[in-house]
């Protein structure tokens, strides 16, 4: 194995640990907003996984998928946050 293979392996391991920590916070999160932030973080981590895979293979076919996931994650986060804000405002 070359040093580059070790770097890719380390990147995948660190991203995997980040996903586990994020999933723990998603399940354990005390509020809806914490869960929304965790879902956004999961979309970012998914894009990061794909980016490392693209770098590993040298194939740029998945860049469009990365952009689509990032945009859907962003729009989903904004929509869920506005919904949670309105819901909290209605309770007051």
Higher pLDDT, 40 or 87: 40
- Name the nearest CA neighbour of 56 among 19, 9, 18: 9
Residue 87: band (very low, low, confident or very high) from pLDDT cuts 50, 70, 90: confident
Question: What three-state secondary structure class fits 60?
Answer: coil
Say what the pLDDT of residue 92 is: 66
Evaluate whether 43 touches 69 at the Cβ level (below 8 Å): yes
Residue 58's region, left for phi above 0, alpha for psi from -120 to 50, else beta, is left
Could you report the per-residue pLDDT of 32-85, keeping only the tens digit for each?
889 999 999 999 999 999 999 999 999 889 999 999 999 999 999 999 999 888
Q: Is the pTM of this model over 0.75?
A: yes
């Amino acid at each position: 194995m070359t040093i580059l293979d070790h770097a890719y392996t380390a990147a995948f391991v660190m991203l995997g640990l980040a996903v586990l920590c994020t999933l723990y916070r998603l399940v354990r999160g005390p509020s809806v907003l914490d869960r929304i932030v965790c879902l956004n973080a999961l979309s970012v981590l998914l894009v990061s996984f794909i980016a490392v895979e693209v770098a590993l293979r040298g194939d740029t076919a998945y860049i469009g998928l990365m952009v689509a996931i990032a945009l859907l994650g962003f729009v989903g986060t904004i929509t869920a946050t506005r919904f949670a804000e309105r819901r909290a405002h209605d309770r007051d």
